[in-house]
Amino acid sequence: MIALKIKEIMTTDVRTVSANDSISEAANIMKQLDVGAVPVVDNNILVGIVTDRDLVLRGLAVGKNSNERVSNIMTKDITTVTPDMDIHKVADIMASKQIRRLPIVENNQLVGIVSIGDMAVEDIYENEAGEALHTISMGVRH
């Protein structure tokens, strides 16, 4: 069996925001696309990611105004992978770091994103994706 590369299942049509965009803009993109995260890109370089959790914990919970900049609430310490990484390795990274969405970067440029749900599209990865999601949801680290 030939191992799939993450580029074969990643989403390549990724909406982004800039660090100077408003929190409200990021929230609206999430609502429109029914997604839980939006990468933050400045000058074509990935500088962070803003998640629905960031909106709540770093925004609403501390009284941030929806017109404030995304840079005030985004996650800056982000894990990324490259398009040629093996899907099993990516699932392991997601599980060990307890993350549900992972930006794909090549030559410092955002080229895609993968979610734990994307991992389950191939029947042979259903168990691995399920185990990774369980680990992430339970907060258990490898």
The pTM of the full predicted model, rounded to 2 decimals, is 0.81
CATH number of 6-138: 3.10.580.10
**Token digits of residue 47:** 């500088």
Instruction: Grade residue 138 by pLDDT with cuts at 50, 70 and 90.
Output: low
d(CA 119, CA 129): 6
Q: Give per-residue pLDDT as tens, 54-93.
A: 999 999 888 889 999 999 999 999 999 999 999 989 988 9
d(CA 73, CA 88): 31
